[in-house]
Structure 1
Amino acid sequence: MDDVIEIVRGDITDERVDAIVNAANNSLLGGGGVDGAIHRAGGRAILEATRELRATTLPDGLPTGQAVATTAGDLPATWVIHTVGPVWSATEDRTDLLQNAYRSSLRVARELGATSVAFPAISAGVYGWPMEDAARIAVSTVRAVLAASFGPVEKVRFVLFSDEALAAFRSAAGE
């Protein structure tokens, strides 16, 4: 199983995979962090695709924990899977929403026929989720989904932007 999951430090916009997961906001129209980087690197095609989604099937935006795919534009991937992670709360357990962001992304990847998927640390940036907990949830959820499903996904790569995130994800994976 763990030969399917890789944990690396890098820039997710450089990943040569079938699908890059975007830690998007509800609007799908770009933002800061990973979302802004993906929109900038992917070019106008991603913004046009997300505007089309907002004009048709998602007029109120993408709900937290759900995922949807668009073209990857100029990125070295085929698709971008946009998912909205929850904002961390000290008073409300939102773990199920974070798990759903990973589950929904892998479901969309499977529907697309993607064999390789790159994830960032969803909700662990501006959304404030503590990195160690975000890593534990990410790794355990992806492992559970991959163990329970027969689908085309053969490789999941967590692409992390900082040494702190890399260490947290490696620890969560038992490396």
Structure 2
Amino acid sequence: MHVQRNGIAVECLQGDIARQKDMEAVVNAANAELMMGGGVAGALHRAAGPELAEAGAPMAPIQPGEAVTTEAFNLPNDYVIHCLGPVYGRDRPEEELLRACYQNALHKAEEHHIQSIAFPSISTGAFGYPVAEAAAAAMDEVTGQAPYLTSIQMIRFVLFSNEDATAYETALAQSD
């Protein structure tokens, strides 16, 4: 699914976040230590190589909602923007912290004059955030930020499963 929001292309697709060759930046659903983990963090770290963890180490630990930027190393992108999403039921207020991830990642992208960015579904894996709720918050935040973005021309949500992609497509269709 592909739509325009305030002149910015926003799309959702099922795929591998580590294989987004046409995106300048990819977002890592990071852990606080910015180390290899499971899910998105594991996929990006495996593809980028050990330099990704080395580059993140001096910036760790990060707090829920925070975003930091590193090079992408062996990934086909220029940058990785690392965001620590909230653990559902533990980090409160969950929705505010999740929205901060997207907002702060977009701000980091703007600082680096990035034109295209790919997001995963932050906090919905091991951190337990319900996918439909996470998708609604993500789309609302991204479309709400769109009028203020000057560099970004394309925002892509890359979802691991077809079910997640459907949830994000539904949320995108309902956003305005």
Distance (whole Å) between structure 1 residues aligned to residue 156 and residue 117 of structure 2: 6
What amino acid is the match of 2:72?
A
Give the match for residue 57 of structure 1: none
Deviations, residues 88-119 of structure 1 (Å, cap 9, x unaligned): 11895411000000000000000011100000
Distance (whole Å) between structure 2 residues aligned to residue 116 and residue 91 of structure 1: 29
Moved more, 86-95 or 68-77: 86-95
Give the match for residue 11 of structure 1: 16
Local SS of the residue matching 1:174: helix
Distance (whole Å) between structure 2 residues aligned to residue 76 and residue 143 of structure 1: 26
Give the match for residue 33 of structure 1: 39
Deviations, residues 102-141 of structure 1 (Å, cap 9, x unaligned): 0000000000111000000001111100010010011110
Aligned residues: 168
| Match for residue 21 of structure 1 among 12, 18, 27 | 27
Which residues of 2 match residues 147-162 of structure 1 at below 5 A?
A: 147=147, 149-162=148-161
Q: TM-score, normalised by structure 2?
A: 0.91
Query: Is 2:118–2:155's contact at 8 Å kept on the other side of the alignment?
Result: yes
Local SS of the residue matching 1:156: strand
What amino acid is the match of 2:11?
E
Which residues of 2 match residues 68-79 of structure 1 at below 5 A?
A: 68-79=68-79
Q: TM-score, normalised by structure 1?
A: 0.91
Distance (whole Å) between structure 2 residues aligned to residue 86 and residue 139 of structure 1: 17
What amino acid is the match of 1:166?
A
Structure 1 segments unaligned to the other structure (5+ residues)? 55-60
| Match for residue 51 of structure 1 among 48, 53, 57 | 57
Percent same amino acid at aligned positions?
A: 38
What amino acid is the match of 1:132?
A
